[in-house]
Amino acid sequence: MKLTLYQIDAFTNKLFSGNPAAVIPLDKWIADDLMQKLGMENNLSETVFFVPSKKNVADYEIRWFTPALEINLCGHATLASAYVLYNHLGFDKPELKFDCKSGVLVIKREKDKLSMNFPAWKPTPFPDYPKELITALGNPEIVNISRSRDVVIELRDEAAVRNCEPDFTLLKKIGEKVMITARGEKADFVSRFFAPIAGIDEDPVTGSAHSQLIPYWAEKLGKNKMHALQLSARGGELWCEFLGERVTMAGQCVFFMKGEIEI
């Protein structure tokens, strides 16, 4: 069996930045354990697979695998998949729809960007958070702790987010995926995302995190349209909008390589 693999840097307009995703188009689903092994072998934060959908609600079905497990939503690999379909596989509809475990995701072309419509997961107060979380983050000054699907920790300022040096071993033991965030200096807000429990110490740019960050910052800033930066070593840039029960996040992609897997 031979499979085609594309590697795309997502949420960036510069090669070697943003979040790299391995994109593997399929005609039909292959075994789950094989997809997981491919995710492990690629050793990127996500390897994404999609197949033509047999349902009327979407064009393709899509699934995402970290090196350690399957997840139910991934923004950057969805963006990368849309980029491959539009730029390499001849997809030409004005809207691209993916069906996944988190519902139907709609992607639109907007000039030099791709815009994704995702569910909004508004964080709520998390008073009973594990106290070891703060230790694992190096005891920074905390403004607020809340959670949705993951833990959202607001820090004092952008510098605190940028300079945080987590204890990933302790974070993995605690068993939570954690994002830290603050008001931005050149953007509306900034963030970083840590997920050692999923086999990813720090994710370079995280779309699913922004499904939680966008409603959080829309309420705090009193605005629905925002510009966001993720302050990982690679860095990433997103243009965001809060729509109530949904959010949109737009970004750019850069092609890195195309290869062939033989199994």
Which residues are annotated as catalytic?
46
Q: Among 88, 70, 80, 77, which residue's Cα sits nearest to residue 29?
A: 70
How far is Cα 228 from Cα 161, in angstroms, rounded to an integer? 13
How far is Cα 158 from Cα 144, in angstroms, rounded to an integer? 14
Residue 82, C-beta contacts closer than 8 angstroms, at least 6 positions apart: 96, 107, 114, 116
Amino acid at 84: V
Cα-Cα-Cα-Cα dihedral of 144, 195, 241, 101, to 10°?
-130
